[in-house]
Amino acid sequence: MKLSGLFARRDSQQVWAALGTACADGTDERYRAEAKHAVLVMVCATESETESKVVALLEANGWNGTILTNLKLLSNPFSSEDPDMRACYKAAVNEDGGIIIYSDEIRDQ
């Protein structure tokens, strides 16, 4: 077995940030059911799988109706003064991904 084959998938993945909106499903008491919030999600993925990984991560954490407005490949090494952003990035690298939910509801006009 070639060792390079073991690591090829991980090497081809990079950390992506996705900005958009999602609606709470009511499982988290901090967010009113069906309330729309701005979300920032970071995942480690290939470019082609980024959107589906973001949506799946949000759905697994009580969010649906995701609309992504912006995807950005993050630089490596990642640098931010914001501790929440650093924690989100770390979760993307070491876990399934990181999510930041902005507390103000978005009310459609």
Instruction: Answer for the pair 47, 17: CB distance below 8 angstroms, yes or no.
Output: no
| Residue corresponding to tokens 């909106």 | 21
> For residue 83, what are the domain limits?
3-106
Q: For residue range 64-103, what is the model confidence (pLDDT) as tens digits?
A: 999 999 999 999 889 999 999 999 999 999 999 999 999 9
Give how many domains the chain has, as a whole number. Answer: 1
Q: CA-to-CA distance for 88 and 18, rounded, in angstroms?
A: 12
Give the predicted TM-score (pTM) of the model. Answer: 0.86
The CA distances from residue 108 to 10, 16, 33, 105, in Å, are 39, 27, 15, 10
Identify the band that residue 109 occupies on the pLDDT scale cut at 50, 70 and 90: low
